[in-house]
Amino acid sequence: MEKNRGIFRVNLPRNMIENSMFEEEPDVVDLGKDSTSFPVVFEPRSSRLLVRGLGENDMDEDEEDCESSARLLGMSFMNRSSATRSDSSPYTRQAPPRSCSQPSTRTMVVCVLLLVVVVSMTMALYFFTGCKFTKTGCPKPNNTTPVETVYPVSTNGELFPWAELRLPRSICPLSYNLTLAPDLDKMTFTGHTVIYMSVRHDTNYIVLHSSNLNIANATFKASNVTVLEYKPRDQIAVKFSEKLKRGQHCVLTLEYSAKLSNTYDGFYNSSYTDKNGNKRVLAATQFEPLAARKAFPCFDEPAFKATFLVKINRKSDYMTLSNMPMAKSTPLNDSLVQDEYKKTSVNMSTYLVAFIVGDFIPVTKDVSKTQVSVYSVPEKKEHTDYALDTASKLLEFYNNFFEIDYPLKKLDLVAIPDFLAGAMENWGLITFRETSLLVGKQSSPLEKQVVASVIAHELAHQGNLFLAVRFRALDKDALNSSHAVSTDVNTEEQVEEMFDSVSYEKGASILLMLNASLPGDQQFRKGIIQYLKQFSGSNTDTDGLWNSLTQVSTQHQNVSEMMSSWTSQKGFPLVTVSRKGDQVTLTQEHFLLTSDNAMHTSSMWIIPVTYLNDSCSLAPECRQLFTLKTKTGILKVPESVKWLKLNYKNTGFYIVHYGDEGWRALTEALSANISVLTHEDRASLIHNIFALSRLGRVAFHQVINLLNYMSNETETSPVTEALLQLNRIYRLLDKRQENIVVASLKNYILNLFAPLMNKKTWGEEESVSKQELRSTLLEMACNLDEKRCIQQAKSLFKQYIESNGTSRIPGDLQRVVFTVAAQSDEGWESLLNMYGHATYDAEKRKMLEGLASTPNTRALAWILKAGLNGDIIQTQELPLVISTVCNSFSGYLFAWDFVQENWDRLIEKFPVGSFAIQTIIKSATSQFSTQRHLDQVQAFFSSLKERGSQMRSVQEALETIRLNQCWMDKNLPSLRNLL
């Protein structure tokens, strides 16, 4: 493959040069920086169900806010609190520890001078303002004038009439008529937007959003009007000499043009290569959270709901899609057609609007009066059948489960070739990344399960409840940099950052906990059904759901009181168990992984504690419930009970510490009989004891003692959790070059899991659970250079190459086979050639992970640049590439330098604060555990100033490095002795 040999002529990053590995100097990219801000109070989408963001604007005229819609499951995109918000940054950088040395003479002199200045100022305030100091401070005199509002300056030099980040509530949109004319040859579009509005309060101006739209003309009451623009807030305004009166209805028409976005939000351009090697282009939308303003002028806050009528002009060889069924198509000339869609049947937020222009082919099925369609590019139509069948079954299930029929005549699911998110639940037009929707005929059951879970998530939109995902949510929420499920955010970047595992998985997990704590059969479902029917199409808030669940509860639990303790504060509790005879004392505290062990919080939760004991531990009826409402609670158990296991099947969002005696009893029970607990309970014990080790509450030898039963393990979740935790420690030790300990830990892992690893075959496997277990074990074995695993993987890859792809590698083994193949230069180039010709996306992505795992640093440099450029490797895959590169010893410093040198280009591709940027920051820093690297990371992000230095993900990265460093310092001595 001669054409690819040139890839190694690239410059290498400075960090690697500093480590005496390379000689060449790096390229440095320095692009312009800008900043935008947008304030919003946000509740994430993890808990929103079928019609999240939809509803009617049936407000009283005296109501100040324009919000509408039932907020399903109590958590819509915005929390419209009227409470005063702090103007200060929510991020606080932890100060480094300081020594307590004796101050110098110079310091003493400076301090005395400062003291004199402070006293002088205080006396001046006292005598010149007449202030009489009291405990409440200096009261404001009645005759003082209020602070005058300072208005920003528009782009044309005039004062902009609005000075706040949130839009004024004096105008509410009622409906939009949108006409868009994209030109896919020039990658531009023109638009014609008509907004019908209601005046809620007397006002002299209309303020709305517009981002990078060139407004050519605006009319109001048939007269041209001047549009002012304030770019830092994406706001435009029209001013009037006479007031618009409350109760008045008015119409604003705007004509504009713009470029199709080159990022993954707004109305953006995408492309793919067809089977003949030709490049095909298309345009698609991604408006969540704040990008509808990039496609049409609008009130782009979720509270401003309206109806939408969409018209799209297209060339005759393209097709279009939008939220609603098509009403008609009208030829405009010989080459252009206008597709008009029906007006939306409900009011909806701007971020749920969607439209697509391209060349897609559907497969369809009628389900309960709804036409379900799955769209793909023509070459991949054969990969759509499974998605269609799954979506159809799920739609019927949800119709029955919620006792409410899906309200539209059509439901489209579209696989977009270039799409950053996994999927987006636009109303009636759900968009997917191809790997999240398309399934090949030879796909494994494990691959099909992943696609089914994504479709189920988007149709119901209540979060992913897999056990391993809940563990990762706990891990992130244990950091001081975490946030509450419902929290204030004040900038556009902070809105983006809310799309994380705390918002998604924690939101879903606490609902799962609530479901498990409600007595009786299906009370959670009954409460949701009552809530949906009671508030359908009307305004509600979080308490609406909790009250509905309280009403159906046979014990009349105060659900609102309990749930507010979980949604309004960050973190989760650690429940510590101590026992004397028949009395068990439960104590709760904030589980906070922080380098400052002196930090304590007063957080309290109402915890539905479930528990089992040795007399009955497997069946659901064994589960008992104790509600811990205070710091300490006491429950009684028979003295004959040998052990207790809390948090049945890990349905609760908390961690349990059993104390030395409790852990010893559970360890002995599992060693005697692994089946004494469910596999979910076994996995939760493993996760909990590793978490407690990181906290410093248990010694690492206790962790090892618990894991000794693992050689008899047969289930995926306990094995996956144990290997993930051990692998994290292995990688940190490897990066610290603790070679002796690394070798010892490697032998320990291989010996512990050898009985399981040796039983695994390399042929086709139909069982999903067995595929999951096999892939987990064999990936770890090959990563640790286990000879049999390496030989088998190489043999499978050789057969695959020699058969020109006709000899299939089982789907669950593809990643491990491709990773082993990429360890040699010859195998890497063969894999790259296969990647360029692969058509099935799930397989192609595993090839990419293999390519990014090579130890050849020149190949790593090429693949990182290729992902950034987006030609051979789509830029949507760059976060995955960086994450994979960081796993290896060869790549982790390399990737960190790449991120630093290309930061400005990265935030051009991905919005600051987005999940992609979060992943990049976390991946590039999570392997660090030294003070030198902590200083580097802190210095780099501090230098960014307004372009991301205060992101929560940065604070999380710094905190993680400190924790890694602390854990290493504490545990290395014992690890050397133990292993």
3-state secondary structure 444-501: CHHHHHHHHHHHHHHHHCCCCCCHHHHHHHHHHHCECCCCCCCEEECCHHHHHHCCCH
DSSP 914: S
Q: How many domains does the chain have?
A: 4
Task: Write down the pLDDT at residue 488.
Answer: 64
Q: Which domain holds residue 517?
A: 466-568
Q: Residue 714's closest CA among 662, 762, 753?
A: 753
Task: Write down the pLDDT at residue 587.
Answer: 97
* 850 and 718 within one domain: yes
Task: Write down the pLDDT at residue 443.
Answer: 83
Residues in the chain: 979
818 within domain boundaries: yes
421: helix, strand or coil: coil
Lowest mean pLDDT among 191-195, 526-530, 614-618, 641-645: 526-530
Q: Alpha carbon of 922 to those of 573, 701, 728: distances in Å?
A: 24, 29, 14
* 803 and 739 within one domain: yes
Domain at 787, CATH number? 1.25.50.20
* 886 and 808 within one domain: no
* 766 and 685 within one domain: no
Tell me the pLDDT tens digit for each residue of 784-809: 999 999 999 999 999 999 987 688 89
Which residue, of 806, 827, 854, is where some domain finishes? 854
* 791 and 667 within one domain: no
694 within domain boundaries: yes
What gap in Å lies between CA 306 and CA 173, rounded to an integer? 6
* 592 and 507 within one domain: no
Task: Write down the pLDDT at residue 149.
Answer: 79
In degrees and rounded to multiples of 5, residue 341 shows phi and psi of: -105, 150
Task: Write down the pLDDT at residue 365.
Answer: 95
What gap in Å lies between CA 42 and CA 54, rounded to an integer? 16
625 within domain boundaries: yes
pLDDT at 515 over 50: yes
* 907 and 974 within one domain: yes
349 within domain boundaries: no
DSSP 862: H
967 CB-near residues (< 8 Å, 6+ apart): 693, 694, 732, 929
CB atoms within 10 A of CB 177: 17
Which residue, of 804, 824, 854, is where some domain finishes? 854
Q: Between 576 and 5, where is the model more confident? A: 576
Considering the candidates 447, 458, 496, 786, report the single residue annotated as catalytic: 458
What gap in Å lies between CA 283 and CA 182, rounded to an integer? 8
Domain at 505, CATH number? 1.10.390.10
CB atoms within 10 A of CB 2: 6
β-pairing, 336-341 vs 347-348, is unpaired
The percent of residues in the chain predicted with pLDDT above 90, rounded, is 56
CB-count exposure of residue 751 (10 Å: 0-12, 13-18, 19+): exposed
Lowest mean pLDDT among 26-30, 61-65, 273-277: 26-30
* 885 and 830 within one domain: no
Q: How confident is the model at residue 422 (pLDDT cuts 50, 70, 90)?
A: confident
Tell me the pLDDT tens digit for each residue of 207-230: 999 999 999 999 998 889 999 999
Task: Tell me the range of 114-123, 541-550, 937-946, 948-957 where mean pLDDT is highest.
Answer: 937-946
How much is the average pLDDT of 823-836?
A: 95
Q: Between 483 and 820, where is the model more confident? A: 820
233 within domain boundaries: no
How much is the average pLDDT of 195-206?
A: 96
Average pLDDT, the chain: 82
What gap in Å lies between CA 436 and CA 447, rounded to an integer? 9
* 837 and 952 within one domain: no
Domain at 632, CATH number? 2.60.40.1910
Q: How confident is the model at residue 6 (pLDDT cuts 50, 70, 90)?
A: very low
Which residue, of 669, 700, 731, is where some domain finishes? 700
Task: Tell me the range of 62-76, 302-316, 546-560 where mean pLDDT is highest.
Answer: 302-316
| Residue 301 annotated in active site | no
879 within domain boundaries: yes
461 annotated to a ligand binding site: yes
863 CB-near residues (< 8 Å, 6+ apart): 851, 852, 854, 873, 881, 885
* 564 and 612 within one domain: no
Tell me the pLDDT tens digit for each residue of 286-345: 998 889 999 999 999 988 999 999 999 999 999 999 999 999 999 999 889 999 999 998
CA dihedral of 384, 387, 392, 395, whole degrees rounded to 10: -140
- The H or E element containing residue 977 is helix 952-978
* 718 and 850 within one domain: yes
Task: Write down the pLDDT at residue 946.
Answer: 59
**Sequence-ordered alpha helix ranges (H) in 736-824:** 739-759, 768-783, 787-802, 814-821
52 within domain boundaries: no
Q: Between 260 and 78, where is the model more confident? A: 260
537 within domain boundaries: yes
Q: Between 301 and 465, where is the model more confident? A: 301
* 719 and 592 within one domain: no
